[in-house]
Amino acid sequence: MENFVNPLRIPDDVKIKTPSTPLRFEEKGIANPVKAEVRFEIGDSLKVILEASEPVEWIRLRFDGDLRGVKSVLGDAVERCTANDLIWSAMLPHARLPWYFHAFDGERLDSYGVKTGANSFAYFQPDPAGITLWLDVRNGGSGVELTEPLLCAEIVCRKGISGEDPFIAAREFCKMMCPTPNLAKSSLYGFNNWYWAYGGIDEATVLRESEYLASLTSENAARPYMVIDDGWQITHSKGYNGGRWDAQNERFSPMNEVAAAIKSRGCRPGIWLRPLLTMRHVPTEAIFVSPTQAVGTVLDPTHPFTLEAVGADISRIASWGFELIKHDFSTYDLFGNNLSKVSGRFYDRSKTNAAIVRGLYETIQKSAGDAAVLGCNTVGHLAAGIHQAQRIGDDTSGRSFEWTRRHGIHSMMRLPQTGSFYSVDPDCAAFTPNVSKELNFDFLEASAISGCAVFASVTPGILTPDEEKRMSAILGTAATLTPAEYAIPTDWTHTTAPGEYLFRGEKRSYDWYRDYRGARNILTWFE
């Protein structure tokens, strides 16, 4: 049985949804009475081009074929993954698989997707009789009002080789989707103080951490990053973590001096910000009515004021001497927790949601100059080729390893993206009195041997001398590992938390469940 559908052709069915035209799942061969047209260009990819004189919300493409021999499929996540996003399963025709998916018949892994940097949010729905692709071209919660033809997406596919390692096949397909990644020039590893301090930081603490980190990595030519997370900005409070981003609070000296002090201690300065949330005065037209934010103002990234203001903030931070800039919360600020239920409209109604956020990322990256950029709560498929690193999962935890397993370790199902899209960041291993240090060491080590960005949150004084030696060894691996040495997760096709790896010809195993006693939130009364 072939078990492969070639999407590099004219689709068997095309539908366009506008605000005035309903789109039913069962419709086929019924013309849409809309003032819009989808055309296609066929080559190494299938280019989907939309021209429309009225607002368009969705495009649906159908490719008929025989997938009855497929045993399991795996999709991606819209943005950061959470506990249930990256699961190998039988085909569920009603499920949506964002960006791309792999189809495995037990012998061969075939892959289907859209190239990174698309102008639409893409969702695949495979079934035994073919593949449906939905392209979300909305502006906010409404149809986009195009002023020129729009390249919505480029569809690509890869027919695997029987007996080929499925993980390697998936990684090769990621390279097809992102042919020009913007990879970091040096290793991304070090400390981040969020998961032990949770914002309760000051300059003295940061500098002590820097000295400690430098002592643990003294033999590494590639110097580590000391990342100052949320809590440095002048407007920081218990109920607000937005900007202004032009000044620090009373617990810090001017931030250019802090950056210089970190560097003088042998580390590279890094810093966090939430670029779209502010307390500053904003022109009315530059305000985006956020579905989530009650305090402060969310900036509309389609307004010239916003891009100028965000660019100025990023340039200023880079000029202070920070060499890694971590920007956060932009997806949440614009779309809340469910992009499919977005409401509102942007200032510029001619751009799709995908094009809008990609434009924001481009502004941030350009403004950062030589600094590396780590996207957090950003859409990885749109940031690929722009940012050097990407948070691929929801938050880990300094309070519960179960949370780290659900999100950080689960996110390593996305390991084919590392070195293909960017450096993947499964988030910090948190060394606190509340969680198992041994499990977090395993998490940190698995991240390091896999070629991830490697960051630890370490409560001051918590590591024993032997533990410090292990920390030094792991950070040494992170500093020196080459892409040719990245570990392969050998259980990738039958797990949600990779724990079996082949590294430098040797097997390494990590038992993520040795202290597990069941999910705490399975019943509400456990909360």
Q: What is the residue whose two structure tokens read 């035209």?
A: 21
* pLDDT top residue among 340 and 477: 477
User: Which of these, 106, 76, 84, lies nearest to 382 by C-alpha position?
Assistant: 76
The mean per-residue pLDDT over the stretch 293-298 comes to 83
Q: Rounded CA gap, 240 and 427, in Å?
A: 22
E-strand stretches of 43-198: 46-52, 58-64, 72-75, 97-98, 100-104, 109-114, 121-127, 130-136, 138-139, 142-143, 150-158, 189-192
pTM here? Answer: 0.95
> Domain coordinates of the chain in residue numbers?
13-177, 189-491
CB-facing half-sphere around the CA of 212: CA atoms within 13 A? 21
Q: Rounded CA gap, 410 and 326, in Å?
A: 22
* DSSP letters spanning 139-174: ETTEEB--SS-EEEEEEEEE---TT--HHHHHHHHH
Residue 524: pLDDT over 50: no
Q: Rounded CA gap, 408 and 154, in Å?
A: 30
User: Which of these, 452, 473, 447, 429, lies nearest to 191 by C-alpha position?
Assistant: 429
CATH topology of domain 189-491: TIM Barrel (3.20.20)
The answer to whether the beta carbons of residues 110 and 67 sit under 8 Å apart is no
Tokens of 94: 């009603």
Read off φ and ψ for residue 83, nearest 5 degrees.
-60, -30
Tell me what pLDDT residue 297 has: 93
Average pLDDT, the chain: 94
Among the ranges given (404-413, 428-437, 483-492, 515-524), the one the predictor scored with the smallest mean pLDDT:
515-524
Tell me what pLDDT residue 33 has: 66
Tell me what pLDDT residue 32 has: 58
CA 512 to chain centre: 23
Tell me what pLDDT residue 29 has: 55
Q: Rounded CA gap, 109 and 129, in Å?
A: 18
When pLDDT is cut at 50, 70 and 90, the band that residue 113 belongs to is very high
When pLDDT is cut at 50, 70 and 90, the band that residue 523 belongs to is very low
Which residue(s) pair with 127 in the sheet?
130
Beta-sheet strand order (sheet of 297-299): 277-278, 297-299, 287-288
Q: Rounded CA gap, 76 and 85, in Å?
A: 7
Tell me what pLDDT residue 527 has: 34
The 10s digit of each residue's pLDDT in 253-284 is: 999 999 999 999 999 999 999 999 999 999 99
Tell me what pLDDT residue 27 has: 58
The answer to whether the beta carbons of residues 471 and 452 sit under 8 Å apart is no
The 10s digit of each residue's pLDDT in 16-55 is: 999 877 665 455 555 556 788 999 999 999 999 999 999 9
* pLDDT > 90 in the chain, percent: 89
Instruction: Count Cβ neighbours within 10 Å for each residue of 15-30 and write b for 16 or more, e otherwise.
Output: bbbbeeeebeeeeeee
User: Which of these, 334, 328, 322, lies nearest to 291 by C-alpha position?
Assistant: 334
When pLDDT is cut at 50, 70 and 90, the band that residue 112 belongs to is very high
| Radius of gyration for the chain, computed over Cα atoms and rounded to the nearest angstrom | 23
Residue 221 DSSP symbol: S
